[in-house]
Amino acid sequence: MISYKSGKQPDSREYRLIFKNVDREGWDPSIDCYLRDGGYEELRKAMGMEPKAITEEVKKSGLRGRGGAGFPTGLKWTFIPPNNTKPVYLICNCDESEPGTFKDRYIVHQDPHQLIEGMVIACFAVGAKVAYIYIREEFPEAAIILENAIQEAREKNFVGKNVLGSGFDVEIHVHRGAAAYICGEETGLIESLEGKRAYPRIKPPYFPAALGLYLCPTIVNNVESLCHVKHIVRMGGEEYAKLGVKNNTGTRILCVSGDVKKPGYFEVEVGKVTMRELLYDMCGGPKDGRTFKAVIPGGSSAKILRCDETFTLRGKGPEGSDLQLSFWDIPMDFDSLAACGTMAGSGGVIVMDDTRKMSWVLNNLNTFYAHESCGQCTPCREGSMWMKKISDRLVAGDAAPEDIATLESVAYQIDGRTICAFGEASSWPVEAIIAKFREELLSETHAGIENVPHNPEAEAQRRFLNHTPAEPGAPVTADIA
Amino acid sequence: MSLTPLEENVASHETPGSKFFPPFAVTPELEAEAGKRLAQFPEDRKRSAVLPLLHYVQHHHGFISAEAIDWVAARLDITPVKVLEVVTFYPGFRQSAPGQFHVRVCRTLSCAMGGSHELMKKLCELTGIDRTSCDAHHHPIAVSPCGKWSVEFAECLASCGTAPVCLVNDDFHEAVTADKAQTLLDSYSNGSSSH
C-alpha cells in the first residue's frame, strides 16, 4: 500500500496547487470526496469556452511540460495541423520512471480525479475523442484506482458521450506499460501503445502532434502538466503566470531523495526556492555528522552539481552584468539550472553526502542505463554497456587511470548520436561526474593494470577516435593482410 | 534433444515456482478480457492490445508460455514473433515461473543509498535463494528451492523518498530496510497477496 501521511502539514514555503489534496486530512480518491471539494467545476467552465480559447489560456500561462524537457504545453497543442481530418489522440504520460522522481505516484494514487478533469479539458481543447493513460507497470494499484475513477466520472457524465450536455464525446482508457524506462520517451510510448517494442521514432521532421499514434495527431503530456491545465482554467492564464518567475511560471513538485534528514515532495512556485532553502530549510539538512557533497537536480539524467561549485551566469546580473552564483543560491527553475550547465528535468533531486563514493554512484547509474537502453541505436546500445563495464572495473578496484579517459570518450561518442534523448540521458551523468570528480575517480585507479588493451591496434583506434594523427616516426603497427 | 535458437527463445523452463501456477488455458474470463481490451482501440489496430493481454496471462499463469504467445498472436491477427518480440523486450514480462511471491527490490540510486542491496542480501539469506547465476538482462529472477519466493532487482520504482522500496507481487512496500525483511516475508507466510 502507498502510505497516506494523513493530515501531514505542508512546509510553510510550499504553494500547494497540484498536491493540495495529497496527504490531506479526511481525503480519499473517490469522486464524492472530489465533488464535495468543488471538483469538476473547471470542466463545466471549460465546456462553456471555445477550445481555441482554452489553448490560448494555457499558452498565456507559460506552462512548461513537467516531464523533463520543459517544452511549453500550450505551444505543443498548437502543432496539430490546422487542416487535419484524422482523429486526434491525447496520451497522458504516467510512465514516471526517471530515477529520483516520485510525484505522479501521489497524484494517481491519491487524487485521480484531478488528472481526469485535466485530461478531459485538454481533450476538449485539442479535439481528442479518445485519450489513453499510459501508466507504468509498477503502479498496479494506481491502474485500478484510475479505472475505477474513470468509471465514476462516466456515471456522472464527466467522461463518455455528450459530456455535460456539450455535445462533446470523450473516452479515457488506462493502458499499462511493462517496466521499460524508454516508454517515458513520447515516441517510444506511442510505439508501445501500438503494441510494439518501444523503439523511439526519429524526429524531426514529424513530431507526434502531426504524426503520432497510428500516424494521427497525438498530444503526449505528463501527469503533472495535465493537472495544471485544470488550475489554469480556474485562474486564467494571466493570473497563473503570476506564480513563479518570468518564463518559468506556475508551481512544480520537487522530489528530494538520498542523504537528507527529511526526504519527500515539496510543491513550490518555480524559481522561488533556492537550493539552500530546499535542502537545509525544507529537508532538514544533511544527516548528523555528515556534509553535503553533490546533488543531481532534475532526475538521474541531469548533470551532477558539486555543492562547493560557483557559477558565472552571463548577462543575468543587474543591468546585464555577469552574475556570480554559488551552488546554494541556485533558484530551482528551468532557466537557472540550465544556465548552470544542468537541467530542472523532472524535478527529482538526488542528494549525496560525503560518505558516498562517486565511482559507486556512477556505476549505479551506468547499470541503470545499460539495462534500460532500448537497443535501437548502436552508440547507445553498445556504449551504455561499455560504460557499465568500465565503471564495474572501477568499483572493483581493477581500473587503470587510462580507463577514466576511455569512459569519458565513450560517453562523448553516444551524446548527440542517437535517435532519442536517451543517448544524452545516459552519457550526461558520466560526462558530468568525470568532469567534476576526476581526481577522486583517478585516486581509485591503479597504474599498470592491463585490463585495457594497450596494444598497437587499440592505440590506433584511440588516435582515430580522438582525431589525432600518429606521431611522426612512430612505428607503423597496423598490418593489413 | 537440442533446441533451435527460436525454440530456445520461446521455451519456458520448469522452476520450483511452477507448481504454484496453473498452466495456460483459454478461459471465458480471458476471452472477456480480450474483448474488453480490444474495444479500447480502433478495429484495425488490434495489435495495441498485446500488452494488456500479456499482463492478464502473466497475472493468472505466472509467466508467458509459448502456448500463450500463440494464442495472443491468433487473437490479435498478428504473427507469433510480433508477440515474442514484445515479451523479450519488456522487463515486465517473464517466460518462466517466478516464486509464489515475487519480490522486486528497487536497485536504482536512491534506494541503493537507502540500503536495497542489503535488503536483497537479507531476503536471499532468509529464503535460501542463490543469486549468483543471475544477470540483469537474461536471467534477472532467482527462485527459492521451495518455490514460494523469488527475487529480482527492479529499476527505479518511483518512490525514492521512502527508500528502500519493493513490490511483492502487486503489493507495494516502502522503507523496507534489511532489518524489516523477516517481517515482510512473515506477512506473506500465511495469507495471500493481491496476486
DSSP output for B124-185:
HHHHT---TT-BTTTB--EE-TTSSEEEEEES--S-GGG-S-EEETTEEE-S--GGGHHHHH
State how far the alpha carbon of A39 is from the alpha carbons of A84, A116, B156, B187, in Å.
33, 11, 32, 38
Is residue B53 within 8 A of residue B72, CB to CB? The reply is yes
* Domain match, A336 and A388 both: no
Domain residues for A98?
31-242
A178 CB within 8 Å of a chain B CB: yes
State how far the alpha carbon of A85 is from the alpha carbons of A75, A128, A214, B43, in Å.
20, 12, 14, 18
Shortest alpha-carbon distance between residue B2 and chain A (Å): 29
- Euclidean distance between CA atoms A135 and A126, whole angstroms: 21
Is residue A230 within 8 A of residue A224, CB to CB? The reply is no
- Euclidean distance between CA atoms A285 and A263, whole angstroms: 10
Nearest Cα to Cα of residue A31 among A142, A139, A140, A154 = A154
**Contact flag B90-A371 (C-beta cutoff 8 Å):** no
> B90: burial class by Cβ within 10 Å (0-12, 13-18, 19+)?
buried
DSSP state of A165: G
State how far the alpha carbon of B181 is from the alpha carbons of B107, B128, B166, in Å.
16, 13, 11
In this predicted structure, the answer to whether residue B79 has a pLDDT above a threshold of 80 is yes
A388 CB within 8 Å of a chain B CB: no
Q: Is residue A167 part of a domain?
A: yes
**Contact flag A259-B113 (C-beta cutoff 8 Å):** yes
Phi, psi dihedral angles at A175 (to 5 degrees): -130, 120
CA–centroid distance for A449 within its chain: 39
Rounded to a whole number of angstroms, the distance between the first and last alpha carbons of chain B is 36
* Domain match, A221 and A314 both: no
What b/e string do you get for B33-49 counting C-beta neighbours within 10 Å, with b at 16 or more?
bbeebbebbeeebbbbb
- Euclidean distance between CA atoms B53 and B43, whole angstroms: 16
What b/e string do you get for A209-218 counting C-beta neighbours within 10 Å, with b at 16 or more?
bbbbbbebbb
ipTM, 2 decimals?
Answer: 0.94
Is residue A463 within 8 A of residue A470, CB to CB? The reply is yes
Is residue A55 within 8 A of residue A78, CB to CB? The reply is yes
| Cα angle: B117, vertex A301, B139; to 5 degrees | 40
- pLDDT score recorded for residue B145: 94
Q: Is the peptide bond before B164 cis (omega within 30 degrees of 0)?
A: yes
* Domain match, A194 and A67 both: yes
CATH number at residue A65: 3.40.50.11540
Q: Is residue A9 part of a domain?
A: no
**Disruptive mutation site among A101, A189, A196, A222 for chain B (greatest number of B CBs within 10 Å):** A196
B9 CB within 8 Å of a chain A CB: no
- Euclidean distance between CA atoms B147 and B154, whole angstroms: 20
Q: Is residue A119 part of a domain?
A: yes
* Domain match, A65 and A89 both: yes
The total number of structural domains in chain A stands at 3
* Domain match, A208 and A256 both: no
Q: Is residue A25 part of a domain?
A: no
Residues in contact with A446: Cβ distance below 8 Å, sequence separation at least 6, in sequence order: A397, A398, A399, A400, A401
Of A96, A255, A370, the CB nearest to B161: A255
- Euclidean distance between CA atoms B34 and B73, whole angstroms: 12
Q: Please report, as a single letter, which amino acid is at residue A136.
A: R
Is residue A117 within 8 A of residue A39, CB to CB? The reply is yes
**Contact flag A179-B92 (C-beta cutoff 8 Å):** yes
- pLDDT score recorded for residue A52: 95
Query: Strands A251-258 and A264-269: what pairing?
Result: antiparallel
Write the pLDDT tens digit of every residue in B31-76: 999 999 999 999 999 999 999 999 999 999 999 999 999 999 999 9
- Euclidean distance between CA atoms B87 and B11, whole angstroms: 12
B129 CB within 8 Å of a chain A CB: no
Nearest Cα to Cα of residue A231 among A66, A18, A439, A481 = A18
- Euclidean distance between CA atoms A220 and A202, whole angstroms: 16
Tens digit of each residue's pLDDT, chain A (481 residues): 555 676 678 888 899 999 999 988 889 999 999 999 999 999 999 999 999 999 999 999 999 998 888 899 999 999 999 999 999 999 999 998 899 999 999 999 999 999 999 999 999 999 999 999 999 999 999 999 999 999 999 999 999 999 999 999 999 999 999 999 999 999 999 999 999 999 999 988 889 999 999 999 999 999 999 999 999 999 999 999 999 988 899 999 999 999 999 999 999 999 899 999 999 999 999 999 999 999 999 999 999 999 999 998 887 778 888 888 999 999 999 889 999 999 999 999 999 999 999 999 999 999 999 999 999 999 999 999 999 999 999 999 989 998 999 999 999 999 999 999 999 999 999 999 999 999 999 999 988 776 666 567 767 766 776 666 666 655 544 444 3
B42 CB within 8 Å of a chain A CB: yes
A424 CB within 8 Å of a chain B CB: no
B51 CB within 8 Å of a chain A CB: yes
- Euclidean distance between CA atoms B57 and B36, whole angstroms: 15
- Residue whose C-alpha cell reads 552564483 in the numeric block: A325
State how far the alpha carbon of A21 is from the alpha carbons of A29, A114, A190, A290, B112, in Å.
9, 9, 31, 34, 30
Tell whether domain B101-189 is in CATH 3.40.30.10: yes
- Euclidean distance between CA atoms A424 and A384, whole angstroms: 11
CATH number at residue A463: 1.20.1440.230
Q: Which CATH number fits domain B5-89: 1.10.10, 3.30.70, 2.60.40, 1.10.1740?
A: 1.10.10
* Domain match, A178 and A51 both: yes
For chain B, give the percent of residues with pLDDT over 90: 85
**Contact flag B161-A264 (C-beta cutoff 8 Å):** yes
Chain B, nearest residue to A374 by Cα: B89
Shortest alpha-carbon distance between residue A47 and chain B (Å): 25
Is residue B135 within 8 A of residue A367, CB to CB? The reply is no
**Contact flag A368-B163 (C-beta cutoff 8 Å):** no
- Tell which A residues from 73 to 92 touch B, by Cβ distance under 8 Å: none
For A410, half-sphere exposure in the C-beta direction (CA atoms, 13 angstrom radius) is 24
The mean of the pLDDT values for chain B is 91
Out of A353, A384, A408, pick the residue that ends a domain. Answer: A353
Of A178, A300, A350, the CB nearest to B90: A178
Looking at beta carbons, which residues of chain A come within 8 Å of B109? 99-100, 258, 296, 300, 350, 361, 364-365, 368
**Which stretch of DSSP H or E encloses residue A128?**
strand A128-135
B113 CB within 8 Å of a chain A CB: yes
- pLDDT score recorded for residue A480: 41
Looking at beta carbons, which residues of chain A come within 8 Å of B90? 137, 177-180, 198
- pLDDT score recorded for residue B132: 87
* Domain match, A366 and A338 both: no
* Domain match, A265 and A190 both: no
**Grid cell of B130 as nine digits:** 542463490
* Domain match, A349 and A285 both: yes
B140 CB within 8 Å of a chain A CB: no
Is residue A91 within 8 A of residue A189, CB to CB? The reply is yes
B14 CB within 8 Å of a chain A CB: no
Looking at beta carbons, which residues of chain A come within 8 Å of B162? 3, 263
Residue A173 pairs in a beta bridge with: A132
**Contact flag A194-B45 (C-beta cutoff 8 Å):** yes
**Grid cell of A84 as nine digits:** 487535419
Looking at beta carbons, which residues of chain B come within 8 Å of A256? 161
In this predicted structure, the answer to whether residue B194 has a pLDDT above a threshold of 50 is no
Q: Could you give the angle at which helices A358-372 and A422-443 cross, rounded to 10 degrees?
A: 150
Say how many CB pairs under 8 Å bridge A and B: 149
- pLDDT score recorded for residue A320: 81
Of B47, B93, B136, the CB nearest to A371: B136
Nearest Cα to Cα of residue B142 among B156, B163, B165, B125 = B125
Out of A212, A242, A272, pick the residue that ends a domain. Answer: A242
Write the pLDDT tens digit of every residue in A23-49: 888 899 999 999 999 999 999 999 999
Rounded to a whole number of angstroms, the distance between the first and last alpha carbons of chain A is 65
Out of A242, A272, A299, pick the residue that ends a domain. Answer: A242
- pLDDT score recorded for residue B159: 94
* Domain match, A43 and A128 both: yes
- pLDDT score recorded for residue A479: 43
Phi, psi dihedral angles at A91 (to 5 degrees): -120, 130
- In A233-363, at which residue ranges do the beta strands (DSSP E only) sit? 244-245, 248-249, 251-258, 264-269, 292-296, 305-306, 310-313, 323-326, 348-353
Shortest alpha-carbon distance between residue A201 and chain B (Å): 16
State how far the alpha carbon of A255 is from the alpha carbons of A100, A179, A230, A321, A351, in Å.
7, 21, 22, 33, 11
- pLDDT score recorded for residue A447: 87
Nearest Cα to Cα of residue A366 among A342, A344, A390, A346 = A390
State how far the alpha carbon of A243 is from the alpha carbons of A82, A238, B105, in Å.
31, 9, 39
Q: Is residue A8 part of a domain?
A: no
Write the pLDDT tens digit of every residue in B127-175: 999 998 888 777 899 999 999 999 999 999 999 999 999 999 999 999 9
Q: Where are the domains of chain B?
A: 5-89, 101-189
* Domain match, A134 and A175 both: yes
* Domain match, A296 and A267 both: yes
Q: Is residue A198 part of a domain?
A: yes
- pLDDT score recorded for residue A450: 67
Of A180, A194, A350, the CB nearest to B109: A350
